[in-house]
Structure 1
Amino acid sequence: MRFPRITFSLILATTLTAHAADDNGPPLRHDLNEQVLMLPAKPGLFGFDLETTLFKPDGPGPFPLAVINHGKKAGEAFRQERQRYPLMAQEFLKRGYIVALPMRRGFSRSGGKYVVEGCNLTQFARDQADDVTKVIELLRARPDVDGSRILVIGQSLGGYVTLAQAERNVAGVRAVLNFVGGIYWPDNQYCDLQTARNESFTNLGSDAKVDSLWFYGENDAYTPAETAARLYERYQAAGGRAEFVRFDAPKNAAHGLFGTREGFDKIWWPKAEPFLKAHGLPTAVINPQYIGPPAPKASGYARSPRNFYVLPPADEGCKTEYRKFVDDNVAPRAFAFSADGACGWAANSDDPSFYALKSCKSVAKQPCQLYLVDDVVVWPIAGIAPSDTSTAKQPKPAPES
């Protein structure tokens, strides 16, 4: 499960088809050679393609392959946007990897249907891993991919799927990383979540063939470290080979730290680096040119994000949401206000500035402008002149899981 908080205030050259970016999403990162492929996961009349984002280093390769598996937001899978993790892609490009991010069946523009097999979570995870295996097989046939050095990573639901991937003898897969992996539903009258998870982790451990490294946060709202530690014990007792890392994180942030600078620098890369080295996977920076966008520059409007008394004139609901947003989210994050007092925000997403503005514009009648980017107030001192906000639209939260 990947949980972008976006709130509305709201070349196998034959069959691997390249597509433009989704018109509703952020622009492609051409500096990271980003492209979108439709990979034929299942041929034939009832077959389907998998929408797959590819980030590629300059040059012919062959490059080791890193496959990153996405999580799931609340709601219909087909409504979920294409997952990109650009910061993580950038870090692996620096280390010489080609990076693939497949949207599994039923997600985004991928074909097929997302189905949970009742309480049989093991079979569900294996079905999802079928898609990952197919993508690996297709990409391994490319001349620019080194099929002998493959790393599989997953966050949230994607982390759970990587454990099903670890059951398989897929040529070239040397290790998997599981970041807060699990499956979660708040209410289900038909089966007990904890019992189903226990059985699933035991089953996945009993046939594990690839070593894994697990990361779980103490305050994770979906799979807390204490719960995960018990699942880890079951996995190991059944025969799975894994290492377990517990970490602390700011309030509500543990589940989404995988794709953040703080998560990479302070939490998981220091542990992952020696693990990957031990499994014959590269870790040294050889392409330092792959860097992110320039850091935001403070405008001088406010000395810190917590100068709440100088917020632009806005609906009181937006001001309340801004205060909560600052408390609950870490960078990357962004918050926008409109001239008529509406607002929009995004955190734990691929491009929070893009999505914060998009969410704001969806409800505002006048122009929107970024107020906060990461930890920097960027609202211009002149600003846009907000009008009377008595009729401004209230925040309309997007569903999360």
Structure 2
Amino acid sequence: MPKRAKWLLSSTLLISIFVFGTAFAPFSLANDAATPPAVKEEMWVLSLPIPMLAYVARPLGNGPFPLVVMNHGESSDATARGFFPKVEFKDAALWFARRGYFVVSPIRPGFGITAVDLPSEGHHSIYLGDIGKCTDVNFRDPGIAIATSVQWVIDYMIKERIALPKGVVVVGQSGGGWGSLALSSKNPNAVRAIINFAGGRGGHVDGKPHNNCAPDKLVEAAGEFGRAARTPTLWIYTQNDSYFGPALSQRMYDAYKGGGGNVEFHLLPAFGGDGHFFVDSPDAIPIWAPIVTQFLNANK
């Protein structure tokens, strides 16, 4: 593993690290006493075609390790993207790390400190997830763009001999789940399995629950991904998902499978106030962990 510099967690330095593209620089997130003995949490800067900040949860030691890449959700609101947390699904990431996986959760371009979007001042952020307007929506291409960024992460981690060259697991939620399904259509050699929690795009139009942008086109795009996909995928949705309800997730699954996609689908009972955020909750781990474990054991 290449030598890495340690950095202080100050906003100014964080920005300077990102801008100047340090190869990859981890710094501790948590007090050592609060960190589980077998797992280390860090923030890294990944030297990719577009550099990305990433949360890392990993076993101790130098590896190489089996890799999990976790992909966060989306927002069409640049201000909301600017306040994006350093990590989503921390408990889920730690669950994988405690089972020997090296978990990387990259913050995509256009989120966090890279979400500067002031058109009136001539400043525009790079944002991979733009689906356009509902009258002329494009679900496929932003999915492929996110998938490409995931492939960058995988290639980088393997090149640096941090990750094993095979057996990668890709996990995503909401827009990140959609990007993960787009990746399945590329059948990357290093990836053995993809896990989609509540994946999709175009939910909550105008901020309204159960109000979807061009759902027929979303289903059509799912079918397109499925026609090319042979990588095993696991889909987990809930009955009370206000973004992609049971009828829509079923249609997406039917289209993906009908196209030839390799998919296992689970529609779980209602969870919390909105099951769309199921994977965010530590209380959900006992529900999804057995499903994920069985799926991964069946797809080694």
Q: Please state which band the TM-score falls in when normalised by the shorter chain.
A: 0.7 to 0.9
Match of 1:116 among 123, 130, 134: 130
How big is the shift at 1:73? 4.3
Please tell me whether residue 87 in structure 1 is matched to residue 94 in structure 2.
no
Please tell me whether residue 172 in structure 1 is matched to residue 190 in structure 2.
yes
CA distance, structure 2, for counterparts of residue 22 and residue 202 of structure 1 = 45
SS of 1:148's partner is coil
Please tell me whether residue 226 in structure 1 is matched to residue 252 in structure 2.
no
- Considering Cα pairs closer than 8 Å and 6+ residues apart, tell me whether 1 or 2 has the greater RCO: 1
2:162 corresponds to which letter in structure 1?
Answer: D
2:48 corresponds to which letter in structure 1?
Answer: A
Please tell me whether residue 28 in structure 1 is matched to residue 48 in structure 2.
no
Paired residues of 1:185 and 1:193 also in contact (CA < 8 A): no
Q: Structure 1 pair 18/120, CA: closer, same or farther in 2 (3 Å)?
A: farther
Deviation digits for residues 211-269 of structure 1 (CA, Å, limit 9, x no counterpart):
10101110111001221011100111111110110111245231112132221112x11
2:105 corresponds to which letter in structure 1?
Answer: L
Paired residues of 1:140 and 1:147 also in contact (CA < 8 A): yes
Match of 1:60 in 2: 62
How big is the shift at 1:185? 4.2
Paired residues of 1:53 and 1:84 also in contact (CA < 8 A): no
Listed as ranges, the matches of 1:70-81 within 5 Å are 70-73=72-75, 75-76=77-78, 77-81=81-85
TM-score (ref. length: structure 1): 0.60
SS of 1:51's partner is strand
How big is the shift at 1:22? 6.2
Match of 2:299 in 1: 279
How big is the shift at 1:175? 0.2
Match of 1:243 among 258, 261, 264: 264
Paired residues of 1:125 and 1:161 also in contact (CA < 8 A): yes
Match of 1:314 in 2: none
2:183 corresponds to which letter in structure 1?
Answer: Q
Please tell me whether residue 270 in structure 1 is matched to residue 266 in structure 2.
no
**How many residue pairs end up in the alignment?**
259
SS of 1:258's partner is helix
2:74 corresponds to which letter in structure 1?
Answer: K
CA distance, structure 2, for counterparts of residue 131 and residue 41 of structure 1 = 9
Q: Structure 1 pair 86/148, CA: closer, same or farther in 2 (3 Å)?
A: same
Farther-moved stretch of structure 1 (93-102 vs 113-122):
113-122
Q: Structure 1 pair 91/52, CA: closer, same or farther in 2 (3 Å)?
A: same
CA distance, structure 2, for counterparts of residue 196 and residue 58 of structure 1 = 45
Match of 1:382 in 2: none
CA distance, structure 2, for counterparts of residue 51 and residue 19 of structure 1 = 13
CA distance, structure 1, for counterparts of residue 203 and residue 276 of structure 2 = 15
Structure 1 unaligned spans of 5+: 1-10, 43-47, 281-401
Paired residues of 1:35 and 1:54 also in contact (CA < 8 A): yes
CA distance, structure 2, for counterparts of residue 258 and residue 22 of structure 1 = 29
2:244 corresponds to which letter in structure 1?
Answer: T
CA distance, structure 2, for counterparts of residue 129 and residue 123 of structure 1 = 10
Determine which structure has more spread, i.e. the larger CA radius of gyration: 1
Paired residues of 1:219 and 1:248 also in contact (CA < 8 A): yes
How big is the shift at 1:169? 3.2
Match of 2:181 in 1: 163
Listed as ranges, the matches of 1:251-262 within 5 Å are 251-262=272-283
Provide the identity percentage: 27
CA distance, structure 2, for counterparts of residue 81 and residue 117 of structure 1 = 22
Listed as ranges, the matches of 1:82-161 within 5 Å are 82-110=86-114, 112-118=126-132, 119-161=137-179
How big is the shift at 1:171? 2.8
How big is the shift at 1:147? 2.0
Paired residues of 2:172 and 2:195 also in contact (CA < 8 A): yes
CA distance, structure 1, for counterparts of residue 127 and residue 234 of structure 2 = 30
Structure 2 unaligned spans of 5+: 13-27, 115-124, 207-211
SS of 1:168's partner is coil
CA distance, structure 1, for counterparts of residue 5 and residue 85 of structure 2 = 19
SS of 1:245's partner is strand
Paired residues of 1:18 and 1:35 also in contact (CA < 8 A): no
Q: Structure 1 pair 273/251, CA: closer, same or farther in 2 (3 Å)?
A: closer
Match of 1:199 among 200, 220, 230: 220
SS of 1:160's partner is helix
CA distance, structure 2, for counterparts of residue 254 and residue 193 of structure 1 = 21
How big is the shift at 1:89? 2.1
TM-score (ref. length: structure 2): 0.78
Q: Structure 1 pair 224/143, CA: closer, same or farther in 2 (3 Å)?
A: same
Deviation digits for residues 10-38 of structure 1 (CA, Å, limit 9, x no counterpart):
x554xx876554659xx813524222222
How big is the shift at 1:113? 2.6
1:257 corresponds to which letter in structure 2?
Answer: F
